[in-house]
Chains A and B, each alone.
Chain A
Amino acid sequence: MHNFTLEQASTVEATAGSKGRFIAGGTTLVDLMKLGVEQPPALVDITALPLDQVEVLPNGGVRIGAMVRNSDLANHPVVLKNYAVLSQALLSGASPQLRNMATTGGNLLQRTRCPYFRDPTSGGCNKRNPGTGCAAMEGHHRMMAILGTSDSCIATHPSDMCVAMTALEAVIHVQGAKGKREIAIGEFYKLPGETPHIENVLEPGDLITHVELPPSKNTKQV
């Protein structure tokens, strides 16, 4: 792995706008760094930020901190009861160990990828090295995207959680250099187009703080 600096984040306010890449569970970032696909010079460890709670909102929805681990979210009583699709999606992905590490914010930001993206020796990849072509187009592409593709990229987003969150119309809360904003998950991800290396609408330094789910049909009004 290449070397890098690692800083500890202290508060959300001080961390938002940071120039380093955020790392929490590390399940996807460390993997890609070992492969040489990702080579961030600076990381910011955000695991100490107080964003690890699942809170029920007055309207019956839930507010999920970005640092809530996938296993904790999947097994949370309110999620099990009111958002079973989210729990099932989480438990169908990865492994128990990875789910203990992976966080809500990190799951949202997994790289859209294919095996060629993960292998720097595999030839061109417009996502890994913009403008170098797409080895997958003429390669083994049976499991790759059918909808929303472009001439530049046919990779798919790997997350099960994000599919459930899209069905539940989640709203992603972000804090950046210019302040807070909310992004509907339906508008969060970008289609590859001619710039497949740009995967979402986040600006540099934007920190996902929470995800909110609207009340579910199973929510009892008290």
Chain B
Amino acid sequence: MADGPKLRDDQHVLGLEPLTDEAQTEGKNSKARVSRRSFLSGLGAAGLVVSASPLAIASGTEVPVETGSAPVANGVSVMVNGKSYDLTGLEPRVTLLDLLRERLYLTGTKKGCDHGQCGACTVHVNGRRVNSCLTLAVMVAGKEVTTIEGLGQPGNLHPMQAAFVEHDGYQCGYCTSGQIMSAVALLKEPIGRTDEDVKHGMAGNICRCGAYPNIVAAVQQVRSLTILGLLKEPGTESGGRHA
């Protein structure tokens, strides 16, 4: 351990997988330009070769397998954006955030502070916003998780995503998926209509670039359109895409 790069315990557990197909393909297809993702994935795997202890290797767990849209009968599965994933064999210490990013490769959800203070990891569990970094993945078994990928996609954005684009509600973009997940959930919560109310309701999401006024404008636009009946239930989610 003294020699190689020092890894946290959870990285020992999570980094034991080979490169993803996606990352490998990405690497093959872009010989001139190595993408950030494939570079970092490769670095993680290389780091483990020199530093992983036998104990860490023994603790490696199976990658959850996508099992289609029907829930798994034994209940040890989780629905993410409308798809069911088997959690059998997952170590209890894996957080929902790490499950999403490192195993399901849904990297739209970001890891910021990893301690529930910044909101970058915000996702919906059964429609309610939570910090996925403080949620143990096995504890959401049987529940429905929605991430930014399940909210909307390019060409088919959720109204809140479109409003963030329109109002320039970001600069670097790292907090943005968490901000949007929080904002969509906020529409269904008992929060007043003023800008101050929105700021209070968005207090769990930090933006170090300081895009706050634009974020508030985006949220207020979607709220106004919702109240006027010009949007169909933008807070609703089925795990699929929204018009």
Contacts and interface: CB of A to CB of B under 8 A. Distances in A.
Interface of A: 1-6, 23, 26-27, 30-31, 33-35, 43, 45, 47, 71, 75, 94-98, 100-101
B128 A3 contact: no
Contacts of A1: 9-10, 93
Interface string B118-139: 0100100000111100111011
Interface of B: 9-10, 59, 91-93, 95, 114-116, 119, 122, 128-131, 134-136, 138-139, 182, 185-186, 189-190, 201-205
A23 B115 contact: no
A31 B92 contact: no
Contact of B115 (A34, A47, A75, A97): A34
Nearest to A35: B115
B131 A96 contact: no
A95 B203 contact: yes
B12 to A, nearest CB: 10
Contacts of A98: 116, 131, 134, 204
A98 B182 CA distance: 12
Contacts of A3: 9, 59, 91-93
Nearest to A69: B128
Contacts of A96: 129, 182, 185-186, 189, 201-204
Contacts of B116: 27, 31, 95, 97-98
A43 B92 contact: yes
Top 3 A-B pairs, shortest CB-CB distance: A95-B204, A6-B92, A1-B93
Contacts of B189: 71, 75, 96
A101 B135 contact: yes
Nearest to B203: A95
A71 B182 CA distance: 14
A35 B138 CA distance: 20
A45 B138 CA distance: 10
Nearest to B142: A48
A30 B95 contact: yes
B134 A27 contact: yes
Contacts of A5: 92
Most chain A beta carbons < 10 A, residue from B129, B131, B182, B201: B131
Given A6-B92, A95-B119, A101 B130 contact: yes
Contacts of B59: 3
Contact of A97 (B10, B130, B190): B130
Contacts of B95: 30
B129 A97 contact: yes
A35 B185 CA distance: 29
B135 A26 contact: yes
A97 B131 contact: yes
24 contacts: A1-B93, A2-B9, A3-B9, A3-B91, A6-B138, A23-B136, A23-B139, A27-B116, A27-B131, A30-B95, A31-B134, A33-B93, A34-B114, A45-B136, A45-B139, A75-B189, A96-B185, A96-B201, A96-B202, A96-B204, A97-B131, A100-B128, A101-B131, A101-B135
